[in-house]
């Protein structure tokens, strides 16, 4: 069963919360972060993307960047922008986007649960990205990025969280520049804290990583290193846990995660269209962007035109991995036709979350940076659970969750 703990969160003063809050470090570039933080000394980008405070072009994985992150975090604490709660607390985090809300529990989840498969994964991780977060955690002595977890709804947990929202005042409530509303409640009452811990231990057999595989893996590897060096003297040491927000599955929505490829692997446009016809029905649909309307349907943008591709029978299997549209595209197009064997390492492919819209695909192909783009129908939350339960992993960049949690509102110190 799921082991979670309250913790003494490091968080901003209420009047500065909106200025501190930052999008996750891995969804924007250094230049985008530099622009977003311009004129705002409170922005958490100074911690999560600290390269913005160093000369342009610096290696973002250099130790200088991690030292700057630690320096900036300490500055925010010293100046009083951030403070640490005196009591171990849970936090309720509600996000509202386009009229749809989702509410999760911010807590410290067990590294042991991650290692033992109680926290289930659906993606492989990349060593270079793990090392980046490991160095960030070890240098700042903080987990600054949240791991987004999901669980099958438990009525008792949902009811407790609903009750707390209805009868208590939030510590933060603001709408960010992108229109997403962020509301946070702090739960420090010992009886309520105990109830939550017990409910998860009794009623939640497992949780699933929705977003944040690298952050979770890095927390595990840091814990292992600390243990090997004899730095952990108690099972309740904070490094044995990592920062998570856990959401009930019924409230979550997954967006599409689309692909861009730099070249056609030596094929002409006519060659590609001809070869696609073996495994897909291919229909040119014109110049207007076309979002896939169902499973096994894809949209392709090539040379100024959109095409509708529908996978033919025999191009996929019915097992949890084989039936995924990302698998169908990977096997029958990216690998078979375009020669992309490993999407995690091949530099010819890039990924664009559905939140950016199909216009981003058009922009990057029309600019000449990319040659062809593929839009996919979103994976369902049940497909994600089925794959994680089977012990399999999805192809890279299969899911994009929105809205995303803001960094900086709650930090877990180790």
Mean pLDDT per block of 10 residues along the chain (414 residues) reads 95 98 91 94 97 92 96 98 97 94 96 95 85 96 95 91 92 95 96 94 94 94 94 91 96 90 96 96 92 94 96 88 90 95 88 87 96 94 89 81 92 96
> DSSP string covering 351-362, please?
EEEGGG-HHHHH
Of residues 87, 90, 75, the one with CA closest to residue 410:
90
Q: What pLDDT is recorded for position 136?
A: 97
Q: What pLDDT is recorded for position 371?
A: 97
Q: Could you report the per-residue pLDDT of 153-193, keeping only the tens digit for each?
A: 999 999 999 999 999 999 999 999 999 999 999 999 999 99
Q: Are strands 119-120 and 207-211 parallel, antiparallel or unpaired?
A: parallel
Q: What pLDDT is recorded for position 1?
A: 87
Which neighbouring-strand residues pair with 104?
93
> Can you say how many angstroms the Cα of residue 257 is from the centroid of all Cα atoms in its chain?
12
Q: What pLDDT is recorded for position 396?
A: 74
Q: Please state, in angstroms and rounded to a whole number, the distance separating the CA atoms of residues 7 and 193.
A: 10
- Per-residue HEC secondary structure of 314-327 comes to CCCCCCCCCCCHHH
Q: Could you report the per-residue pLDDT of 307-325, keeping only the tens digit for each?
A: 999 999 888 888 888 888 9
Q: What pLDDT is recorded for position 55?
A: 93
Contact status, residue 374 vs residue 397, Cβ threshold 8 Å: no
In the structure encoding, which two tokens stand for residue 265, read together? 């692997």
The SS3 of residue 397 is coil
In the structure encoding, which two tokens stand for residue 345, read together? 């390492």
b/e map 310-331, b = 16+ CB within 10 Å: ebeeebbeeebbebbbbbbbbb
pTM of the prediction?
A: 0.85
The CATH T-level fold of domain 257-377 is 3.30.1760
b/e map 25-60, b = 16+ CB within 10 Å: beebebeebbebbeeeebbbbbbbbbbbbbeeebee
Q: What pLDDT is recorded for position 141?
A: 97
In the structure encoding, which two tokens stand for residue 286, read together? 């014109």
Those residues with Cβ within 8 angstroms of residue 57's Cβ, 6 or more apart along the chain or in another chain: none
The domain segmentation of the chain, as residue ranges, is 4-254+403-413, 257-377
């Amino acid at each position: 069963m799921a082991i979670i703990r309250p913790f003494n969160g490091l968080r901003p003063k209420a009047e500065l919360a909106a200025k501190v809050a930052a999008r996750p470090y891995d969804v924007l570039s250094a230049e985008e972060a530099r622009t977003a933080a311009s004129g705002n000394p409170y922005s958490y980008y100074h911690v999560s993307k600290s390269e913005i405070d160093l000369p342009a072009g610096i290696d973002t994985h250099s130790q200088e960047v991690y030292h700057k992150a630690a320096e900036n975090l300490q500055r925010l604490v010293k100046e009083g922008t951030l403070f640490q709660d005196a009591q171990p607390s849970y936090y309720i985090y509600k996000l509202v986007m386009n009229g749809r809300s989702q509410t999760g529990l911010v807590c410290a989840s067990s590294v042991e649960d991650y290692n033992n498969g109680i926290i289930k994964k659906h993606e492989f991780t990349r060593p270079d990205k793990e090392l980046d977060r490991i160095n960030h955690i070890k240098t700042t002595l903080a987990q600054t990025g949240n791991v987004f977890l999901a669980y099958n709804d438990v009525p008792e947990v949902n009811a407790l969280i609903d009750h707390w929202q209805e009868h208590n005042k939030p510590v933060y409530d603001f709408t960010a520049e992108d229109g997403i509303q962020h509301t946070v409640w702090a739960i420090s009452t010992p009886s309520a804290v105990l109830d939550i811990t017990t409910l998860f231990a009794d009623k939640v057999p497992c949780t699933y990583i929705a977003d944040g595989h690298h952050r979770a893996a890095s927390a595990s590897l840091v814990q292992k290193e600390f243990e090997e060096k004899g730095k952990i003297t108690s099972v309740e040491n904070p490094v044995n846990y990592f920062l998570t927000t856990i959401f009930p599955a019924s409230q979550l929505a997954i967006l599409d995660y689309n692909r861009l490829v730099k070249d056609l692997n030596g094929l002409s446009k006519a060659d590609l269209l001809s070869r696609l016809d073996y495994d897909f029905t291919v229909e040119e649909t014109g110049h207007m962007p076309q979002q896939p309307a169902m499973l096994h349907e894809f949209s392709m943008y090539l040379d100024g035109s959109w095409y509708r591709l529908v996978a033919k029978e025999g191009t996929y299997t019915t097992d949890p991995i084989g039936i995924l549209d990302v698998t169908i595209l990977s096997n029958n197009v990216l690998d078979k036709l375009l020669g992309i064997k490993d999407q995690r390492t091949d530099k010819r492919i890039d990924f664009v979350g559905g939140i950016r819209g199909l216009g981003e695909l058009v922009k990057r192909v029309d600019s000449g940076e990319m040659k062809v783009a593929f839009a996919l129908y979103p994976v369902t939350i049940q497909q994600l659970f089925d794959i994680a339960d089977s012990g399999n992993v999805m192809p890279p960049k299969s899911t994009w969750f929105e809205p995303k949690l803001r960094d900086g509102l709650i930090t877990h110190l180790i």
